[in-house]
Amino acid sequence: MSWTEIDIHELKSLTDATIVDVREVDEYTSGHIPGAVNIPLSSLTESLNVVPSGTLIHVVCQAGGRSARACEFLSQQSQFSATQFVNVSGGTGAWILEGNDIVVGDQPR
């Protein structure tokens, strides 16, 4: 299994994208992409049951490194054989730098 990558401009053009933010809780609550669900990379192995499954999951972190590791790990798990993972390069940092809306707090929206 494998994963692909897009940038924040491509993510912004999508409607109803499923987004998993793998940053730590304090990073997430200080500002995240609207609709992103927080599942920190540090607890990902214990949280596989809450990772959305489906056809396409976009994974984001601060800049793209942690989310790439998460995509690599998740794409190798048998329960996600029918799921495509997409790393969002540039991450939340680039999203914010571009002036896009963010959500503050522990809820996706």
Dump pLDDT digits (tens) for 15-34: 999 999 999 999 999 999 99
Can you give the pLDDT at residue 64?
Answer: 97
- Is-contact 22 41, C-beta < 8 A? yes
Residue range 55-88, pLDDT digits in tens: 899 999 999 999 999 999 999 999 999 999 999 9
Cα separation of the two ends of the chain: 31
Q: Give the per-residue pLDDT at 99.
A: 96
Query: How many Cβ atoms from other residues are within 10 Å of residue 83's Cβ?
Result: 19
Helix, strand or coil for residue 10? Answer: helix
CA distance 54 to 42: 22
Total number of domains in the chain: 1
pLDDT exceeds 80 at position 1: no
Determine, yes or no, domain membership for 108. Answer: no
**What pLDDT score does 55 carry?**
83
pLDDT at 87: 98
Q: Is residue 36 part of a domain?
A: yes
45 in a structural domain:
yes
Residue 52 sits in a domain of what CATH number?
3.40.250.10
Whole-structure pTM value: 0.96
